[in-house]
Structure 1
């Protein structure tokens, strides 16, 4: 005989499994130490400054 399943519980369990998988993926993608975050911020700031220094200003003729 077939076991009766509560669909509400099954949906919640499935959603919980998906959320746990996504959380694990986000931990691996965004799980950086403070030193790594500060280094990345410094690198991004330096790169942005470098680009700003080489930006060409448009010459408007009025």
Structure 2
């Protein structure tokens, strides 16, 4: 005799797998690698430093 299958668990596992596949695809499409993130962070910090350097002292 076959072992009974929990259909709720099967349904949730399937939904979880589909969500993970979609997340992986989005990471490939929209994600940035570490070098790009670091470059962006450095650019933002430099912009803030430059802006602070141009403040008018009263």
Using the size of structure 1 for normalisation, the TM-score is 0.53
Q: Counterpart of 2:21 in 1: which secondary structure?
A: helix
Determine the C-alpha separation between the residues in 2 that align with 1:18 and 1:33: 24
Unaligned runs of 5+ in 2: 1-5
Task: Give the deviation of 1:33 after TM superposition.
Answer: 5.5
Unaligned runs of 5+ in 1: none
Alignment of 1:1-62 (within 5 A): 6-32=7-33, 34=35, 36-55=36-55
- The ranges of structure 1 where at least 4 consecutive aligned residues each deviate by more than 6 angstroms after the TM superposition are none
Task: Give the deviation of 1:49 after TM superposition.
Answer: 0.8
Q: Counterpart of 1:31 in 2: which secondary structure?
A: coil
